[in-house]
Amino acid sequence: MPRKPAPTPPPAAPATGWDEVLSAFGPDPHPPAPVPPVEPPADAGTGPLATARAALERLATWVPIRSLARRHRRRIIEHLFAMDARDRYLRFGYAASDEHIRKYALSLDFARDEVLGIFNRRLRLVALAHLAYGQPLPGDPTRTMAEFGVSVLPESRGRGLGRRLFEAAALHARNRGIDTLFIHALSENRPMLRIATAAGAVVERDGSESAAYLRLPPDSFGSQVEQALERHLGELDFQFKRQARVLNDFVDSVAEVKAHFDASGRAAKE
Ligand SMILES: CC(C)(COP(=O)(O)OP(=O)(O)OC[C@H]1O[C@@H](n2cnc3c(N)ncnc32)[C@H](O)[C@@H]1OP(=O)(O)O)[C@@H](O)C(=O)NCCC(=O)NCCS
């Protein structure tokens, strides 16, 4: 029986790295200069870097917001009609009837004011904000401010839509050269006051009513670009949802016609 050949020993392990090989020659006479730690820039909290970071954070929770026009009045009325008596009271500061709501919607001045909306996939207006320009500033009637009013349908609340509309309205007002955003809310309206105070507004309580004032910075190239981008993306999103709905309706009607022919075919056979 032939003998098994002796196993060949494994090759020697290669050097673990250049540092180990070079260390055999003694210490490096010209060591590389140590890399200084990177210090954050002095304007890290306020400069362009911070602005870019804030914009990225906003992008992560981005919601398409659309500027509404006269042709959206019917949807605006439907949105406000869907609110119950308490929400109407919180929104308008009085028990608004259907007639009040209709009058309010018909009186909206789309050329002067800004009306912003958020639509769901079925193109239902789930959140609505009205930014009314030309309100006199208390104590200085020569200057004007913008008043913000908002409503979100109950089933869409708590997802940040109210806050997003507030931020978008502040951006629009700022870009129009307005320096104060005003919110009139009942003191019991904690979500609305929370949105305003979180943005840095000063709240003046007067019993059951509160007035919040938010100072806006002057507009900048960045704020103008941000608004233009928001407008385009909001429009794109709406058109996309509209096409999807048309396609859905088409598929539904084809299915309906098919069902109809199937039924008549069966009836003819019988
Ligand atoms: C006010 C209103 C627009 C808020 O809409 P929303 O989309 O639910 O608001 P958001 O999801 O952006 O939440 C806003 C903040 O309120 C907070 N909040 C919600 N309910 C709260 C409550 N009961 N108490 C305290 N804070 C509350 C949220 O936690 C959030 O704060 P955070 O981001 O720091 O967590 C909505 O409740 C509404 O339509 N109410 C009826 C009409 C109205 O009151 N309009 C305002 C008068 S102009």
Q: Is the CB of 196 under 6 A from ligand 1?
A: no
In a domain, 175, yes or no: yes
Percent of the chain having pLDDT more than 90?
55
Which residues constitute the domain of residue 102?
Answer: 64-243
Buried b (16+ CB within 10 A) or exposed e, 202-228: eeeeeeeebbbbbebeebeeebeebbe
In a domain, 21, yes or no: no
What is the rounded CA–CA span in Å between residue 128 and residue 134? 20
What is the rounded CA–CA span in Å between residue 244 and residue 126? 18
Q: How confident is the model at residue 1 (pLDDT cuts 50, 70, 90)?
A: very low
In a domain, 251, yes or no: no
In a mutational test of the pocket of ligand 1, which residue from 115, 147, 163, 188 has the highest number of ligand atoms less than 8 Å from its CB? Answer: 163
In a domain, 6, yes or no: no
Closest residue by CA, ligand 1 atom 15:
191
pLDDT tens-digit series, residues 163-214: 999 999 999 999 999 999 999 999 999 999 999 999 999 999 999 999 999 9
In a domain, 265, yes or no: no
CATH number at 239 reads: 3.40.630.30
In a domain, 44, yes or no: no
Ligand 1: atom nearest CA of 159 is 11
Indicate whether 4 pLDDT > 70.
no
In a domain, 189, yes or no: yes
pTM of the model: 0.75
pLDDT tens-digit series, residues 9-58: 555 445 455 566 656 666 666 766 766 665 555 555 566 677 677 666 76
Indicate whether 128 pLDDT > 70.
yes
| Nearest Cα residue to 181 out of 168, 170, 167 | 170
Give the sign of the dihedral formed by CA 176, CA 145, CA 82, CA 195. Answer: positive
152 contacts 91 by C-beta, under 8 angstroms: no
Q: Determine the pLDDT at residue 251.
A: 74
Averaged pLDDT for residues 228-246: 83
| Nearest Cα residue to 150 out of 106, 120, 194 | 194
Distance from residue 193's CA to the centre of ligand 1 (Å): 8
Q: Determine the pLDDT at residue 2.
A: 47
Distance from residue 155's CA to the centre of ligand 1 (Å): 12
Q: Is the CB of 210 under 6 A from ligand 1?
A: no
Q: Is the CB of 73 under 6 A from ligand 1?
A: no
What is the rounded CA–CA span in Å between residue 56 and residue 69? 29
In a domain, 206, yes or no: yes
22 contacts 28 by C-beta, under 8 angstroms: yes
- R_g of the chain, CA atoms, integer Å: 31
How many domains, in total, are found in the chain?
1
| Nearest Cα residue to 202 out of 194, 213, 191, 211 | 213
| Average per-residue pLDDT for the chain | 84
Ligand 1: atom nearest CA of 189 is 44
Q: Is the CB of 162 under 6 A from ligand 1?
A: yes
Indicate whether 156 pLDDT > 90.
yes
Q: Determine the pLDDT at residue 71.
A: 95
Q: How confident is the model at residue 263 (pLDDT cuts 50, 70, 90)?
A: confident
